[in-house]
Amino acid sequence: MSKKKNEGGITYPLGFRASGLVSGVKKNGKPDLSLIVSDADCVAAGVFTTNQIKAPAVRISSRRVRGSGIRAIVINSGNANACNGEAGERDALLIGEKLSLHLGCDPRKILLASTGVIGRPLDMEKIVSALPRLVDSASREGFEECARGIMTTDTRSKSAEAEGSVSGKKVRVGGIAKGVGMIHPQMATLLVFLTTDAAVEKEALKTILSQVADRTFNALTVDGDTSTNDTALILANGQADNLPVSKNSAGYQELFSLVLSVCESLRDQLVRDGEGVTKIIRIVVGGAKTRNDARKVAQSIARSLLVKTAFFGEDVNWGRIMVAVGNSGVRVYEERIDIFMGEVALVHRGVGLGALQEEKALEVMKKKEITLRVMLGIGSMEAEYWTTDLSVEYVHINAGYKGRT
């Protein structure tokens, strides 16, 4: 598998075009409307927010993605169109309908996503009148404009692509993302869009997307909130002409690796683009009975405010890590727990290893990217989770967001 940077992103796979433009929804005049369109019908899959309050775009896309022949994804930023009652539902449907006229396809073949402020009516006039321009400007070269049009408080656009062989044919995967429930938590929305020219069966594509999402986007947190609009979608148009990938075919693992590679790159870009984030912490929990147990413990640590503020303050306070481990809901045994900061052993069998080790651990904590490893001493399963520190800047940003779309 080779991977080329800054070349194609979402339009890197064959048969995809993209665009992005300024419709005027954002007061700051930045791009706020994006389109991804495939020349041919696509197999599609999606993972969506677990929040029970879902934006109309989420409800509509999660319904439509079950169907067949998906052709396009339209994304607006600056307004989440969430909690807008029936008007919000009508507006979202209307965007799809109007777009379908310009694309000449059934509206049910169009997926939608939105991100931005909650509870404000969409400026439909601006969006609808920008649609013809959005369709006309869609091109292979439009990947960067497309990535920009989905940004909110992101400081950089996020694109990635990978190519490799699937059942002996060259296959490409591309993707774009915006932060961020976890990075710019004030927006609390994560959007990820992926394309591939692989031929793949729907069930296989669904499994690939959900497993990759669990390992990447669903394994990071800044504040533990899940937005009304979180969405990850993948379109596969089969233009690579490979033998269609099924769950049991040889190509499955190859395609899985390509999608994982793109999503890991997007995750890394998301994590590094955090306002108010001074440190990134990779939490590895091992020695668990099950992967799910490991994940729960890692998540408990990742979400603990006391742990996150300790990282911000570069305070080697392993007691807080123990507290978070004990709060995870997973059965643990204090006397079996080992904790490492980077390569420095801090706790062995539940007991601190003393001041000298703490001094060494402090050197690790001064870095910007830190691996914290907790071994439970119960089984052999492992999971990782990404988190950030909790900084004074985080509070400043989040204490006064609404005014600045």
Burial class, 201, CB count within 10 angstroms (exposed 0-12 / middle 13-18 / buried 19+): middle
Q: Give the Å distances, CA to CA, from 266 to 65, 157, 194.
A: 22, 10, 10
- Residue 24 or 326: the one with the smaller Cβ distance to a second copy is 326
> Facing residues of 195 across strands?
174, 235
Which of 189, 196, 387, 388 is the catalytic position? 189
Q: Which residues of 363-384 are buried (b: 16+ CB within 10 A; e: fewer)?
A: ebbeeeebbbbbbbbbeebbbb
Q: Return the sign of the alpha-carbon dihedral for residues 87, 90, 95, 101.
A: negative
Rounded to the nearest whole angstrom, what is the least distance from the CB of residue 119 to a second copy in the complex?
4
Which amino acid would we find at residue 217? F
Piece in contact with a second copy (CB under 8 A), picked from 25-33, 44-52, 288-296, 377-385: 44-52
- Residue 6 or 333: the one with the smaller Cβ distance to a second copy is 333
Identify whether the C-beta of residue 337 lies closer than 8 Å to the C-beta of residue 350.
Answer: yes
Is 178 assigned a ligand-binding role in the annotation? yes
Q: How many residues bind a second copy (CB under 8 A)?
A: 63
Of positions 114, 227, 242, 388, contacts a second copy by CB under 8 A: 227
Q: Give the Å distances, CA to CA, from 145 to 73, 126, 176, 270.
A: 14, 18, 11, 18
Task: Give Cβ neighbours of residue 260 (< 8 Å, ≥ 6 apart).
Answer: 212, 215, 216
Of positions 21, 70, 316, 341, contacts a second copy by CB under 8 A: 316
Using CB under 8 A as the binding rule, the residues of this chain from 349 to 388 that contact a second copy are 349-352
Piece in contact with a second copy (CB under 8 A), picked from 3-11, 24-32, 123-131, 391-399: 391-399
- Residue 77 or 239: the one with the smaller Cβ distance to a second copy is 77
Of positions 10, 44, 117, 150, contacts a second copy by CB under 8 A: 117
Using CB under 8 A as the binding rule, the residues of this chain from 142 to 181 that contact a second copy are none
Decide if 189 is catalytic: yes
Rounded to the nearest whole angstrom, what is the least distance from the CB of residue 271 to a second copy in the complex?
18
- Residue 19 or 405: the one with the smaller Cβ distance to a second copy is 405
- Binding to a second copy by CB under 8 A, coded x per residue (else -) over 46-85, reads ----xxxxx-------------------------x-xxxx
- What is the 3 state secondary structure string of 256-324? HHHHHHHHHHHHHHHHHCCCCCCCEEEEEEEEECCHHHHHHHHHHHHHCHHHHHHHHCCCCCHHHHHHH
- Residue 131 or 390: the one with the smaller Cβ distance to a second copy is 390
Is 398 assigned a ligand-binding role in the annotation? yes
Is 189 assigned a ligand-binding role in the annotation? yes
| Cα 94 to Cα 2: distance, rounded to the nearest angstrom | 41
Residues lying near a second copy in the complex (CB under 8 A): 50-54, 80, 82-85, 117-120, 185-186, 188, 223-228, 303-306, 309-310, 312-313, 315-320, 322-327, 331-332, 334-335, 347, 349-352, 390-392, 394-396, 398-402
- Residues designated catalytic: 189
**Binding-site residue set for substrate:** 152, 178, 189, 275, 398
